[in-house]
Each structure stands twice: as structure tokens, then as C-alpha cells.
A and B are shown apart, each in its own frame.
Chain A
Amino acid sequence: MADELKFPGNGARADRDSLDESLVSLIREAYSPPAGEEYWAGLESRIMSRVTSHVAADTPWWSVLAPWARPALVAAAALFALAGAIDRQLTEADDPAAYESVVQSVTPDVLATSEELISVERGTDGATLSYFLSH
């Protein structure tokens, strides 16, 4: 077995002082990775478990709401538009009624009161004038 180790490199590699192929294959053997597929599946799973726990540790509690941000914005906009439409409709329906109620009920009273005041004022003015003229 020892005869297989011939130094230095035998020209199979471009590098002049490279190690003998048999020695390289022995080192390769010494450093060979695990061969079983289940080992690599297990390692992948351990890596991803650490990645996932890292993600969970780094994620702020409010970020769970992040996926709902877009639907929530859309819903809020729709609600806002709906509220606006309802408000406009109520305002449009109320305006003529309110106008009519003000015009029909308040205006005559106001007018009546105004006419009374005018007549009172006229009456008062006349009495005052008569008082000054007579004295």
C-alpha cells in the first residue's frame, strides 16, 4: 500500500508540485461527507428550523396583521364611500323638507312679528311725536 504513494505529483495535474493522486484520493476519503440522503434531509430540516425560529424571533407582533393591510384598506375605502353616499342621500332628502318647514312655519310668524313691531314702532313714534308737539 505504501508503494502507491509516489511523491511528488506525477503530471496528471497541471500543477507541478501537486500531490500524488493516490494521496489526494486518501485525503478525499478522509474528508468525505456523509453519504446517506436522510442525513442531508435532516441537516436541511435543522437549518430551516433555525431559519424559521430566527424569523419568528425577529418578527414584531403587529406584523401578523400585515397580510390584512391591503384588504383592510380596501374595506375602509369602501366603507368611507358608502358612508359618504348615505350622508349625501340623507342631506338631499332633508334639504327641501327643512326648507319647506322653515319657510312655512317660521316665516309667517317672523313676518307677523315684524309687522307688529313696525306698527308698535309707528305707534310709539306717533305718540312720541304727538307728545312733543303738544308740549
Chain B
Amino acid sequence: MRIPDEERALAEAARAGDQNAFASLVRLHQRRAYLVARAIVTVHEDAEDAVQEGFVRAWQSMDRFDSSQSFGAWINRIVANAALDITRRRKVRTTEELSDALRSPFRDPALDAELKTRLTQALAQLPERARSVIVLHDIEGYTHTEIGEMLGIPGGTARSDLHHARQKLRGLLQDLRG
């Protein structure tokens, strides 16, 4: 994977302790990192916490960052770990709470309310990892290997998780078939 020169230069400067360079890396990667975190924790506030925690951990570990690698892939793995830590701390969460959480204020209000409700309920009923795998693969476009690295599971497991997650989601939305 070709690393853009600008990103490499910023990462090297940040590794040398340049906070402005690190701020530029935050600016470049925070959206993507948010999406990764949101796929895992679901709730907007938790995703935001995971992104903040992930970037702080990255700053602390900059001396271990290999600048020949992609900073984006590295930070996404760190943010995913931070998000997984949050889910471990908040393991008990009801389906209802998740459904509410998925009703993000950032969605298009024109979408059909009933369909949205059904979809959010179905997603909320999926096991945590299944939901993460669907969102990371089908929405964010990550490969099984990348998802495996982020979630700490083998790529093959991510692939089979995705297959089962899709089947389960289809089953939950069965009565919506046209």
C-alpha cells in the first residue's frame, strides 16, 4: 500500500513530538476512525469516546509507529481496540437502548419511519461482533483481513461472521421482503 508523502511526513514529525503534525493527522483520520468506532459501539457518544481515547493512545505510542505503514490503518486498529474496551465495560445493554441509540440525530428525516425502526431493531438484535462486521465490511468497505486485525480475530472468522450476520439480519427482516 502506497503511503502518501504528506501523511508519512506528518507521522514522522508527530513521532518526533510535533503536536501540530499530530493535529493534522487527527484532522485527516478522525472521520474514518469515528465510523470504525461507531460500527463497534453503536452509540454516538461511545464512538466519540473511543476516537478520543484511540488518538490519545496513538500519541502515547507514536515511538512504536512504523512510518512505512499506513497511519490510517494503524489508528483504526487502535480506535477499534478502544471501542472494544468500551463495549466490554458496558456489556449489559438492552435491545431497546440500542434501538434508541441507533436513532441518530444525523439521519435523513425523510426515511420511512417504520422501516427505520425495523432496521434499527434488527441491527440491535444482532450480536455485537456480527453487527460490527456487517458495518465495517458492507458499509465501510474493509476487507475480512482488515476487520480481523481491528477486532482481534482471524480474517476467516470475520468472513464467516459476516455470512452468519447477513443471514441473521435477513431473517430478522424476513417479513419486509417484496
> Measuring CB to CB, which residues of chain A are less than 8 angstroms from any residue of chain B?
1-8, 17-19, 23-24, 26-35, 40, 43-44, 46-48, 50-52, 54-55
Q: Which residues of B contact A (CB under 8 A)?
A: 19, 22-23, 26-27, 30-31, 34-35, 38-39, 44, 48, 51-52, 55-56, 59-60, 102, 104, 106-108, 111-112, 114-116, 119-120, 123, 134-135, 138-139, 163, 166-167, 169-170, 173, 176-178
Q: Is the CB of B19 within 8 A of A55?
A: yes
Q: Which residues of A contact B108 (CB under 8 A)?
A: 29
Question: Which of B48, B119, B178 lies in contact with A26, CB distance below 8 A?
Answer: B119
Chain A residues with Cβ below 8 Å from B167 are: 17
Separation of A2 and B27 alpha carbons in the complex (Å): 39
Give chain A nearest CB distance to B15 CB in angstroms.
14
| Cα of A34 to Cα of B45 in the assembled complex, Å | 11
Judge whether B138 and A40 touch: CB under 8 Å: no
Q: Which residues of B contact A44 (CB under 8 A)?
A: 23, 26-27, 30
Label chain B's interface by main secondary structure.
helix
Q: Which residues of B contact A46 (CB under 8 A)?
A: 52
A-B contact pairs, 12 of them (CB 8 A): A8-B170, A18-B138, A19-B170, A29-B111, A33-B31, A40-B27, A40-B31, A44-B23, A44-B27, A52-B19, A54-B60, A55-B59
Interface of A (DSSP majority class): helix
Q: How far is the CB of A59 from chain B (nearest CB, A)?
A: 11
For A49, the closest partner residue in chain B by CB is B52
Other-chain contact of B138, A5, A27, A51 (Cβ < 8 Å): A27
